[in-house]
Amino acid sequence: MTAPLIDPFQRAINYLRVSVTDRCDFRCVYCMSENMTFLPKKELLTLEELDRMCSTFVGLGVEKLRITGGEPLVRKGIMTFFDAMTQHLDSGALKELTLTTNGSQMERFADDLYAAGVRRVNISLDTLDDKKFADITRWGRLPQVIKGIDAAQKAGLRVKINTVALKGFNEDELFTLLDWCASRDMDLTFIEVMPMGDIGNEDRLDQYWKLSDLRSTLRETYTLTDLPERTGGPARYVRIEETGQKIGFITPLTHNFCESCNRVRLTCTGELYMCLGQEDMADLRAPLRNNPGSDAMLQDAIRAAIALKPKGHDFDYSRQGVDGRVSRHMSHTGG
């Protein structure tokens, strides 16, 4: 049972993204509909079950845990889970414990997260304009997020800003965002919008801004050098020679990153998705709950799921519409 997790395409799976809740205090237009129906709380894995689940994955060779949601920091008692994961950092089995957050609760939790062993956080931020921020998040307040970023940096956390590239929305802020991140010594990663879930009146095709076009715009002003480094995720990085700034690009559509995929995603209900862009999943909640005294069946279920990991996703935007759409929201799978 100590053999590493290897998928059918000989990719080592050592990165687990864990959604601890489908709830969020924002309603970003590319992620959720405004009037979301959330899961009954009884369906969610308890914090103790999340601890056991993640500990089992660590025992099978997972070296990086990224905690997501929804907004992970709105989960009641969430720091007990982070504190439980500290043991794996201390043992050396877990190389990194991190999270992706909208930053709204970071002012409250930054110091506690650092104490638990978190050293890097990704904070989602698509605009620096107050009104546009309110529009894109529907419920969000930009000053609250800025205070969260301040608190994270003060606590010693390395902050990376994740920006979803949205046509007609933040194209005009490209250089503003770059300069702002540079002034605060924060890395910046751009992400293409993905066709996940029903988002009401919003149109994915209207939102889609190809990152190849974004890169071309950057090249008109700056010299970009491709970097070989990886941080365990799908981003590919460049250095802006004139400033030394590092910029990441996550391009599931213009250039998918499936050939090097090393990750799987666990939902807050115990479903394991082997690919973000496919509907196939494995139920890990049943073997977890049905065998409280042993992890053997859970380990077997995890290995069986990894054996079914597909080669890649089918996301595609044609001129006529969107292909490769999946029905679940990003907040369910984990952002």
The model's confidence at residue 42, banded by pLDDT at 50, 70 and 90, is confident
Task: Identify the band that residue 316 occupies on the pLDDT scale cut at 50, 70 and 90.
Answer: very low
The answer to the question of residue 314 being in a domain is: yes
Annotated binding residues, as ranges? Answer: 17, 24, 28, 30-31, 66, 70, 100, 124, 160, 194, 258, 261, 263-265, 275
The confidence band for 319, taking pLDDT boundaries of 50, 70 and 90, is very low
- The model's confidence at residue 190, banded by pLDDT at 50, 70 and 90, is very high
Average confidence (pLDDT) over 104-113: 98
pLDDT band at 255 (very low <50, low <70, confident <90, very high): low
pLDDT category of residue 199 using cuts at 50, 70 and 90: very low
pLDDT for 44 beyond 60: yes
- DSSP structure string for 214-233: HHHHHHTTS-EEEE----SS
Residue 42, domain member (yes or no): yes
Averaged confidence pLDDT in the chain: 88
Annotated binding site for [4Fe-4S] cluster: 24, 28, 31, 258, 261, 275
| Residue 138 pLDDT level (bands cut at 50, 70, 90) | very high
Assign 278 a pLDDT band (cuts: 50, 70, 90): confident
In a domain, 194, yes or no: yes
Q: Domain count of the chain?
A: 1
DSSP state of 296: H
In a domain, 195, yes or no: yes
| Enclosing domain of residue 313 | 15-333
**Model confidence at 32: pLDDT above 90:** no
Mean pLDDT score, 263-278: 90
Q: Which residues neighbour 89 within 8 Å (Cβ) at sequence distance 6 or greater?
A: 97, 117
pLDDT greater than 70 at residue 285: yes
Domain assignment present for residue 45? The answer is yes
What pLDDT does 200 receive? 47
- Does 8 fall in a domain? no
Q: Are strands 316-317 and 245-250 parallel, antiparallel or unpaired?
A: unpaired
Residue 75 domain-assigned? Answer: yes
Annotated binding site for GTP: 17, 66, 100, 160, 263-265
Would 99 be classed as within a structural domain?
Answer: yes
Q: What pLDDT, on a 0 to 100 scale, did the predictor assign at position 280?
A: 83
**pLDDT for residue 54 is more than 50:** yes
Q: Which alpha helices (DSSP H) does the chain contain, by range?
A: 47-59, 78-91, 106-115, 130-137, 142-155, 174-183, 204-207, 211-219, 285-290, 296-306, 330-333
Q: What is the pLDDT of residue 257?
A: 62
**Residue 184 belongs to domain with CATH number:** 3.20.20.70
Of residues 2 and 293, more confidently modeled: 293
